Chain A
Amino acid sequence: MNPRILAATTGRILRQLRHDKRTVALLVVVPTVLLTLVYFMYVDQPTPPGRPSVFDQVALIMLGFFPFIIMFLVTSIAMLRERTTGTLERLLTTPLGKLDLLFGYGIAFGLAGVLQSTIASLVAYRVFGLDTAGSLWLVVMIAGVNAVLAVALGLFCSAFARTEFQAVQFMPVVVLPQLLLCGLFVPRGEMAGWLQAISDVLPLSYAVEALQEVGAHADPTGTMWRDVAIVGGAAVAALVLAAATLRRRSG
């Protein structure tokens, strides 16, 4: 890796995003709109005594999922474009290293994810009164790690798509099982053994557990840090897999 090339690549990706004003607006506005829907869905629901309100539970998890879903899609399409427009092939004929490119995407869209989750979290806490024992910034940090994981998975999955149509189909494949089995709908401890086993190998299960730890404890817990490390590790593993899909030579 070359620091100048990595910085230039990160800057280039952010500049591309900045030129696309509508995408930036959607990144910022959509989570807020959805949080508003969820707030009014649950506003009249009774809260069992001694438990967090349903809105608090759902909104907390949503804050972790927004950047994951959006950054996965944005990265898949961006990388697919690099492949189909020939810029990837051109980049690989230059002194740019594969990791310069992959980490450039990780940093650029990771930052975009942090920005998105910061705005969404501020709205959730300040406007809708989201209440967690732990700090808002721990939520943003976990959302940021989720975004980096999403970028890594997007870079990897884009290798298996030839068209944008195919690329967007990977979203439900990658995201929905993790959403269903993360413990939001049915607590992980109450699932059938085989479902739990699947849930155990899906990285977002750990992201959700980390968020729930922030919800329940004023200070960061050991479990939270372990979960964040697992999600980060999964991101690194996905980046290594993505590097394996970048071939300088092709047929």
Chain B
Amino acid sequence: MDDAVSVRDLVVDRGRQRVLQGISCVVPRGAVTGLLGPSGSGKTTLMRAIVGVQTVSSGTVTVLGRPAGAAELRHRVGYLTQAPSVYADLTVRENARYFAVLQGRGRADADRAVSDVGLAKAADQLVGTLSGGQRSRASLACALVGEPELVILDEPTVGQDPVLRADLWARFHAMAATGTTLLVSSHVMDEAARCDRLLLIRDGRLVADDTPDAVRATTGVDDLEEAFLRLIRASEQEGAGEREE
């Protein structure tokens, strides 16, 4: 049980729609795991299940040795939602300070989290006046302020400029180097190469669970986007006419 997250046969239904169709996977400790897949593939639902805010139909999700959503996990897991969930009518600093207190941290931690996401200059601006990219970084600062052991980031780099995106990925790897576990979702395949490990999901099923190099090796192509395409085609042939698209 050395994995930070272990998911077994997870099924999630939303209304009549089956969103996750029996997913089993693990997220290893102290590494950056990428969760990739097209929009609507179930990435957010899987992340919500790991954070423990998603009602699940069957299967188990174990997080840091405890069932997902257990009360003692609330100060050990940081969650960045896809839409920035920060208060638009507070400044960046006020947001960070509030979430810092919730995690038992102080003002210095809040200010550090703000500068870590490159918002030191905008710290006293109201979040409502920020650009989309800045707003999502403000939200990221609030997710990281408690220095959680496990960080779940739902599309943290969407809308960021390339330089900032590189900075953020460098930061994620620095965190992993100190033992933090990160699960980062993205629908942009060029981010896959930056991850230590990859989970590819499509239509609520796991298509690949491997390192980027192993994915390249099994498919025989260098480009991860092309590699994923081959994996998806292969899995569709296995599923033989079970689904269409």
* Chain A positions near chain B (C-beta within 8 angstroms): 4-5, 8-9, 11-12, 15-16, 19-20, 85-87, 89-96, 248-251
**CB distance A94 to B51 under 8 Å?**
no
Name B90's contact: one of A12, A92, A249 (CB within 8 Å). A12
A109 CB to closest chain B CB (Å) equals: 15
Instruction: List residues of chain B with CB within 8 A of the CB of A94.
Output: 74-75, 99, 102-103, 146
A8 and B81 within 8 A (CB) = no
* Closest chain B CB from A89 CB (angstroms): 6
Q: Is A90 in contact with B85, judged by CB distance below 8 angstroms?
A: yes
Residues of chain B within 8 A (CB-CB) of A85 are 83, 85, 88
Question: Which one of B54, B75, B142 contacts A250 once the chains associate, using CB atoms below 8 Å?
Answer: B54
Q: How large is the interface on B (under 10, 10 to 19, 20 to 34, 35 or more residues)?
A: 20 to 34
26 A-B contacts (beta carbon < 8 Å): A4-B104, A5-B101, A8-B98, A8-B101, A8-B102, A12-B87, A16-B87, A87-B87, A89-B81, A90-B79, A90-B85, A90-B142, A91-B102, A92-B53, A93-B53, A94-B74, A95-B75, A95-B102, A96-B102, A248-B69, A249-B54, A249-B55, A251-B14, A251-B15, A251-B54, A251-B55
A230 to B99, CA, bound (A): 36
Residues of B near A16 (CB, < 8 A) are: 87, 89-90
Q: List CB contacts (< 8 Å) of B121-171 with chain A.
A: 126, 142, 146
B64 CB, min distance to chain A CBs, angstroms: 14
**Which of B101, B103, B104 lies at the interface centre, i.e. has the most chain A CB atoms within 10 A of its CB?**
B101
Enumerate the 9 nearest inter-chain pairs by beta-carbon distance, A residue then B residue, closest first: A86-B85, A8-B101, A94-B102, A90-B85, A12-B98, A16-B89, A95-B74, A86-B81, A87-B85
Nearest CB of chain A from residue B70's CB, rounded to whole Å: 11
A164 shortest CB reach to chain B, Å = 14
Q: B53 touching A95 by the CB < 8 A rule?
A: no
B residues bordering A, Cβ < 8 Å?
A: 14-15, 51-55, 69, 74-75, 77, 79, 81, 83-90, 94, 98-99, 101-104, 126, 142, 146
Q: How far apart are the CA atoms of A95 and B102 in the complex, in Å?
A: 6
Contacts of B102 in A (CB 8 A): 5, 8, 91, 94-96
Cα of A16 to Cα of B84 in the assembled complex, Å: 17
Q: Would you call the interface of chain B mostly helix, strand, loop, or mixed?
A: loop
How far, in Å, is B76 (CB) from chain A's closest CB?
A: 10
Q: Closest CB of chain A to B139's CB: distance in Å?
A: 8
CA distance A5 to B146 in the complex (A): 14
Are A20's CB and B89's CB within 8 A? yes
Q: Which of B81, B94, B101, B104 contacts A15 (CB 8 A)?
A: B94
A78 CB to nearest B CB, Å: 10
When chains A and B are docked, how far (Å) is the Cα of A86 from the Cα of B102? 16
Q: Are A249 and B87 in contact (CB under 8 A)?
A: no
Q: Is the CB of B77 within 8 A of A93?
A: yes
Q: Are B101 and A4 interface neighbours, CB within 8 A?
A: yes
Taken together as a complex, chains A and B put the C-alpha atoms of A249 and B102 apart, in Å, by: 19
A89 contacts across to B, CB distance below 8 A: 53, 81, 85
Q: Which residues of A are found within 8 Å of B75, using beta-carbon distances?
A: 94-95
By the criterion CB–CB under 8 Å, are B85 and A249 in contact? no
Q: Collect the chain B residues with CB atoms within 8 Å of residue A8's CB.
A: 98, 101-102
Which residues of B sit under 8 angstroms from A87, Cβ to Cβ? 85-87
CB distance B90 to A15 under 8 Å? Answer: yes
Question: Within the assembled complex, what's the spacing in Å between the Cα atoms of A5 and B104?
Answer: 9
In the complex, A20 Cα to B99 Cα: how many Å?
21
Chain B residues near A15: list those with CB within 8 A.
Answer: 90, 94
Complex-state Cα separation, A8 to B98, whole angstroms: 6
The residues of A that contact B85 with a CB separation of less than 8 Å are: 85-87, 89-90
- Most chain A Cβ neighbours within 10 Å, of B15, B86, B94, B98: B98
Q: Are A248 and B89 touching (Cβ within 8 A)?
A: no
Q: Contact: A19 with B89, CB < 8 Å? A: yes
Chain A's nearest CB lies how many Å from the CB of B91? Answer: 8
B51 contact set on A, CB distance < 8 A: 93
Which residue among A87, A90, A91 has the maximum number of chain B CB atoms within 10 Å of its CB?
A: A90
* B52 touches which of A4, A91, A249 (Cβ 8 Å): A249
Are A93 and B79 touching (Cβ within 8 A)? yes
A106 to B41, CA, bound (A): 40
Q: For the complex, give the distance between the alpha carbons of A93 and B53 in Å.
A: 7
Contacts of A91 in B (CB 8 A): 102
CA distance A251 to B75 in the complex (A): 23
In angstroms, Cα B145 to Cα A8, docked, is: 15
Docked Cα-Cα span, A249 to B89, in Å, equals 26
